[in-house]
């Protein structure tokens, strides 16, 4: 099978980029021919090179909506499809999802769109534009893969035909035993959050919760436009010695193995892969109840789900975990078992491959 993967950004590495990398690599190792196409940027290309994955770049493909620019992207995509002649186009992220579906329709190529989170769910006027675009482009994909059931339900509420939407939850490749966390006693207790420093994430709420927990050190992994703002807030709270900004890291598994607790405090999510990484590492997790973020968490068994904006509950849950190494170890071990049963990469690959085979026989 010849599969062309399309994802918008190469300048930032998020869930969609890692999903494409892992899926493309798994299919490549199984003997399928893959080509990963990205937009502008460099960091993601290095990850693709490291895995030996064939890739190319359309440098005028950028995240913002720019009609004249987007027309150039569409023309370039049509040329790529005619050159590579894939059996299937697999599009990821909203901008690439729209342009990829249009190019596939214009060349008569079967296409799927994987929704890692609906752009119309993001606050602001651009959300309405994406709402209209998604409604118009939905019929151009033979199936739309949703990375969590709440994402599928949001699509149905938006008016997308339920039979076109299928849920295949995110998954992660496993790691060697030495990459698993070994929660232990001792101080300080290290809480880690992995996520871009941008409007979607609520690292400021986590920082404020940590201010009330004097035996805690907070590790923030990720870069982004809010870094200066967050550093200023940390300094204002007198936490400079207890909060470390690590920036973008390629050794997230090692960072998790050195932590005691994982937190993901957000304003919106689809189905965050970082929570799966944390459970894979044997960490108890504390996540905001937004989008599909809670789907991977068994409340009180593998971690805790916090109502958005409830800093008091966040601090209380963290305080209980900080106080009890045994409680952390129990929840972390349960999270590891939950990952093994439900979120290994092989499961996602098999489900996705079967869907690919189905859509290539689909005539409607």
Same domain, 106 and 137: yes
pLDDT > 70: what percent of the chain?
97
* CB contact set of 88 (below 8 Å; sequence gap of 6+): 1, 2, 3, 4, 109, 110, 111, 112, 356, 359, 360
CA distance 285 to 272: 12
Q: Per-residue pLDDT tens for 206-251? A: 999 999 999 999 999 999 999 999 999 999 999 999 999 999 998 9
Same domain, 286 and 194: yes
Same domain, 161 and 273: no
Same domain, 38 and 121: yes
Position 66 scores a pLDDT of 87
182 pLDDT more than 70: no
Same domain, 15 and 38: yes
pLDDT classification of 364: cutoffs 50, 70, 90:
very low
Position 250 scores a pLDDT of 86
Average pLDDT taken over every residue of the chain: 93
Same domain, 301 and 156: no
Same domain, 278 and 352: no
pLDDT classification of 339: cutoffs 50, 70, 90:
very high
Position 25 scores a pLDDT of 97
Position 363 scores a pLDDT of 47
192 pLDDT more than 50: yes
Q: Per-residue pLDDT tens for 282-292? A: 999 999 999 88
pLDDT classification of 183: cutoffs 50, 70, 90:
low
Q: Per-residue pLDDT tens for 81-101? A: 999 999 999 999 999 999 999
Position 357 scores a pLDDT of 94
Lowest mean pLDDT among 34-38, 65-69, 178-182, 357-361: 178-182
CA distance 172 to 342: 10
Cβ atoms within 10 Å, residue 152: 21
Position 206 scores a pLDDT of 97
Same domain, 149 and 205: no
Phi then psi for residue 27, to 5 deg, are: -70, -40
33 pLDDT more than 80: yes
168 pLDDT more than 60: yes
Domain of residue 311 covers 177-342
Position 179 scores a pLDDT of 63
Position 318 scores a pLDDT of 98
**If you average pLDDT over residues 133-144, what whole number do you get?**
94
User: For the chain, how many structural domains are there in total?
Assistant: 2
pLDDT classification of 361: cutoffs 50, 70, 90:
confident
CA distance 250 to 44: 11
What CATH number corresponds to the domain at position 10?
Answer: 3.40.50.2000
Tell me which range, 2-6, 148-152, 305-309, is most confidently predicted by mean pLDDT: 2-6
CA distance 247 to 227: 9
Phi then psi for residue 298, to 5 deg, are: -95, 110
Position 270 scores a pLDDT of 85
Same domain, 230 and 147: no
pLDDT classification of 360: cutoffs 50, 70, 90:
very high
Lowest mean pLDDT among 26-40, 115-129, 192-206, 218-232: 115-129
Same domain, 234 and 355: no
Same domain, 167 and 267: no
DSSP sequence for 32-67: -EEEEEE-S-SHHHHHHHHTT--EEE-TT--SS--H
pLDDT > 90: what percent of the chain?
83
Same domain, 140 and 197: no
CB 171 within 8 A of CB 343: yes
Lowest mean pLDDT among 63-67, 133-137, 209-213, 325-329: 63-67
Place of tokens 């509950």: 313
Question: Residue 360, Cα to own-chain centre: how many angstroms?
Answer: 27
Question: Residue 177, Cα to own-chain centre: how many angstroms?
Answer: 24
Position 184 scores a pLDDT of 62
CB 188 within 8 A of CB 213: no
Predicted TM-score of the model (pTM): 0.86
Cβ atoms within 10 Å, residue 177: 8
């Amino acid at each position: 099978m010849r599969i062309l993967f399309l994802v918008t950004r190469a300048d930032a590495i998020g869930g969609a980029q890692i999903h494409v990398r892992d899926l493309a690599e798994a299919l490549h190792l199984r003997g399928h021919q893959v080509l990963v196409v990205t937009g502008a940027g460099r960091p993601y290309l290095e990850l693709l090179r490291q895995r030996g994955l064939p890739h190319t770049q359309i440098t005028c493909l950028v995240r913002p909506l720019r009609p004249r620019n987007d027309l150039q992207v569409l023309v370039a995509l049509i040329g790529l499809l005619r050159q590579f002649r894939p059996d299937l186009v697999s599009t990821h992220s909203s901008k690439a999802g729209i342009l990829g579906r249009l190019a596939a329709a214009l060349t008569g190529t079967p296409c799927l769109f994987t929704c890692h989170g609906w752009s119309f769910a993001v606050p602001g006027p651009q959300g309405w534009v994406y709402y209209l675009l998604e409604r118009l482009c939905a019929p151009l994909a033979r199936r739309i893969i949703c990375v969590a059931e709440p994402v599928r339900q949001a699509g149905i509420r938006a008016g997308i035909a339920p039979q076109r939407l299928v849920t295949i939850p995110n998954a992660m490749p496993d790691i060697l035993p030495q990459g698993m966390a070994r929660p232990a006693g001792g101080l300080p207790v290290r809480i880690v959050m992995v996520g871009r420093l941008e409007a979607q994430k609520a690292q400021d709420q986590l920082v404020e919760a940590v201010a009330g927990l004097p035996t805690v050190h907070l590790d923030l992994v990720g870069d982004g436009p809010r870094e200066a703002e967050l550093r200023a807030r940390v300094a204002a709270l007198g936490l400079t010695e207890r909060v470390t900004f690590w920036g973008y890291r390629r050794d997230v598994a090692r960072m998790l193995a050195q932590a005691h607790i994982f937190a993901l405090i957000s304003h919106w999510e689809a189905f965050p892969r970082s929570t799966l990484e944390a459970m894979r590492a044997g960490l108890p997790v504390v996540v905001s109840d937004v989008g599909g973020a809670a789907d991977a968490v068994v409340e009180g068994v593998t971690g805790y789900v916090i109502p958005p904006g409830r800093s008091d509950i966040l601090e209380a849950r963290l305080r209980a975990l900080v106080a009890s190494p045994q409680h952390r170890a129990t929840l972390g071990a349960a999270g590891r078992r939950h990952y093994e049963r439900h979120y290994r990469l092989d499961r996602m690959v098999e489900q996705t491959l079967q869907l690919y085979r189905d859509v290539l026989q689909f005539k409607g």
